[in-house]
A and B are shown apart, each in its own frame.
Chain A
Amino acid sequence: MEDTQAVAALVERCLGGDAAAWEEIVRLYHRRIYNVSYRFAGTAEDAEDLTQEVFIKMYRTLKSYDVSKGALVTWVTTVARNLLVDNFRRRKHDRMTDSLESAPAGHQDALTLGEQLPDLGPSPDAGVHTQQTQRAVHQALQKLSPELREAVILRDLQELEYREIAQVLRVPEGTVKSRINRGRAELARHLSRTYRQVS
């Protein structure tokens, strides 16, 4: 998908201090990183913070990117994924140590802050007609464990190859496929529950 030579040249220029090249990299990937962050973290606010954090990390570590080891998009996604998981763990730890915020027993594991608070702002999802469905799917996604969530985001939303996902998550391809299967099935289970309650 990615023009390896063009990307290598872009990275080269960037490392040489070319600000325009860095801007091009930001423009190329900000949408993807923002979407991954939004679907993983759950709220637009967190997604924005995390996207910035990802690019700051990239900016500092671009030197370590090795063209021969894979596409820049895989590298960028890996940086993003690691930060998202770090952030998730930090938040989970914060939640566990915060006595004021005791979630109801049994399903606090994958709950995000955004889920516990009523979302008053407009959802960034496009299309008025499908907005409710979009929201339901997005919320069901937040109920998956981070392992399953990241797997289905990378496959079904970002459309990465299994091989690339395995590289990002540092697990064998078989594990990737198994997580995708389980993630999809669990998501469907959550949604069927939601829709059974509604109807």
Chain B
Amino acid sequence: MYGEHPGGMDCTQFEALLSEALDGALSQPLLAGFRAHAAACADCGPLLAGAQAGMSWLKSLAEVEPPRNLVLNILIATSGAGAAASLRQASPTSSWRDRLRQWTRPLAPAFSAVLQPRFALSLGMAFFSITVLLNAAGLHLSSLRAADLRPSAIQENLTRAYNETTARALKYYENIRLVYEIESRVREFRNATREEDQQEQRKKELEKPRDRKYRDDNTSGNPDRKQDRYSRQNEPVVLAGTWLDDSVYTIPEGRAA
């Protein structure tokens, strides 16, 4: 077939035009020659049919949805001076997995789960890890709202608590990295609770206008703690799921008691 030139073109010219022909970008005279060649050539005819079929199969592939936490995980993996510094320090030949393994090696098992390659943290896990950490640092969840949640204060507390246990095993940048992780979890948690607080506050103001005087007189800077806790007793108990589970189990009031 290479000796003949059906459609006024050889097979090489035909193949060079193939992708543009499938794009619909060939001019009329070229297209006529192209078609004539395909009809007459035993090699190019099947090539055209195959390429056309393959293209439509490929175009039928839908875009896949990335995992929900992907953006957050990327930001965690790339943000903070610590992460950047550690990445710059890491040897250029070591893979991302190897570097992660190095970070997680000196950490307790609980933190290994937090720092796995895909940082697959559900909100439940985040909640649990904060609780564990704050308890370890001598803070209890019931006083979380009263605690000073300024990032600098958290960083100070956690860095101190963390240093006490692992100071010799860890380098400075790993420390900053963990703190950054915790900070972002606390930020998420705080945003969630702030919204809830505002809603409760609004509800209480609507329901009990006569309490306002008492509240206004309270200048401790720490108002409504008792009422807050009392109202929490009426809510169903919510437990965070396991490390690997997204689910949060809600136990009805009757059974929890």
A75: CB under 8 A from chain B? no
Is there an interface contact between A44 and B96, defined as CB atoms closer than 8 Å?
A: no
Q: Which of B47, B49, B62, B88 contacts A126 (CB 8 A)?
A: B62
Residues in B with CB closer than 8 Å to A133 are 60
Residues in B with CB closer than 8 Å to A189 are 50
Is there an interface contact between A124 and B70, defined as CB atoms closer than 8 Å?
A: no
User: In the bound complex, how far is the Cα of B104 from the Cα of A5, in angstroms?
Assistant: 41
Residues in B with CB closer than 8 Å to A59 are 78, 84, 87
A74: CB under 8 A from chain B? no
Is there an interface contact between A185 and B79, defined as CB atoms closer than 8 Å?
A: no
Would A26 and B58 be within 8 Å (CB), given that A56-B78, A180-B19, A189-B50 are in contact? no
User: In the bound complex, how far is the Cα of B84 from the Cα of A125, in angstroms?
Assistant: 34
Q: Which of B15, B18, B62, B66 contacts A34 (CB 8 A)?
A: B66
Is there an interface contact between A39 and B62, defined as CB atoms closer than 8 Å?
A: no
User: In the bound complex, how far is the Cα of B148 from the Cα of A71, in angstroms?
Assistant: 46
Is there an interface contact between A52 and B60, defined as CB atoms closer than 8 Å?
A: no
Within the complex, what minimum Cβ distance (angstroms) separates A85 from chain B?
A: 14
User: In the bound complex, how far is the Cα of B15 from the Cα of A23, in angstroms?
Assistant: 43
Interface residues of A in 141-189 (CB under 8 A from B): 141, 152, 155-157, 162, 174, 177-178, 180-181, 183-189
Interface residues of A in 28-68 (CB under 8 A from B): 30-31, 34-35, 38-39, 44-45, 48-49, 51-53, 55-56, 59-60
Within the complex, what minimum Cβ distance (angstroms) separates A60 from chain B?
A: 6
- Interface residue SS majority, chain B: helix
Is there an interface contact between A187 and B117, defined as CB atoms closer than 8 Å?
A: no
B51: CB under 8 A from chain A? yes
A138: CB under 8 A from chain B? yes
Is there an interface contact between B79 and A60, defined as CB atoms closer than 8 Å?
A: no
Interface residues of B in 40-96 (CB under 8 A from A): 47, 49-55, 57-67, 70-71, 73-75, 77-79, 84, 87-88, 95-96
User: In the bound complex, how far is the Cα of B49 from the Cα of A180, in angstroms?
Assistant: 14
Is there an interface contact between B53 and A188, defined as CB atoms closer than 8 Å?
A: yes
Residues in A with CB closer than 8 Å to B70 are 30, 34, 48, 51-52
Is there an interface contact between B66 and A177, defined as CB atoms closer than 8 Å?
A: no
> Which range holds the interface residue count of chain B?
35 or more
User: In the bound complex, how far is the Cα of B96 from the Cα of A16, in angstroms?
Assistant: 25
Listed in ascending order, the chain B residues whose CB lies under 8 Å from chain A are 15-16, 18-20, 47, 49-55, 57-67, 70-71, 73-75, 77-79, 84, 87-88, 95-97, 117-118
Within the complex, what minimum Cβ distance (angstroms) separates B14 from chain A?
A: 10
Residues in B with CB closer than 8 Å to A130 are 60, 62
* Other 19 A-B pairs with CB < 8 A, given A35-B66, A49-B118: A22-B78, A39-B61, A44-B64, A49-B96, A51-B70, A126-B65, A130-B60, A134-B62, A141-B61, A152-B58, A177-B16, A177-B20, A181-B15, A184-B52, A185-B47, A185-B50, A185-B51, A188-B49, A188-B54
We find that the number of chain A residues with CB closer than 8 angstroms to chain B is 53
Within the complex, what minimum Cβ distance (angstroms) separates A93 from chain B?
A: 13
25 CB-based A-B contacts, threshold 8 Å:
A19-B79, A22-B79, A31-B63, A34-B66, A52-B70, A52-B73, A52-B96, A53-B96, A56-B78, A56-B87, A56-B96, A134-B62, A152-B54, A156-B58, A156-B59, A156-B61, A177-B15, A177-B18, A180-B19, A181-B15, A184-B51, A185-B54, A187-B57, A191-B53, A192-B53
Would A26 and B61 be within 8 Å (CB), given that A53-B96, A184-B54 are in contact? no
Residues in A with CB closer than 8 Å to B61 are 39, 125, 134, 137-138, 141, 156-157
Residues in B with CB closer than 8 Å to A39 are 61
Would A184 and B84 be within 8 Å (CB), given that A48-B118, A49-B118, A52-B96 are in contact? no
A127: CB under 8 A from chain B? yes
Residues in B with CB closer than 8 Å to A188 are 49-51, 53-54, 57
Residues in B with CB closer than 8 Å to A110 are none
A140: CB under 8 A from chain B? yes
Residues in A with CB closer than 8 Å to B95 are 53, 90
Within the complex, what minimum Cβ distance (angstroms) separates B59 from chain A?
A: 6
User: In the bound complex, how far is the Cα of B64 from the Cα of A49, in angstroms?
Assistant: 15
A69: CB under 8 A from chain B? no
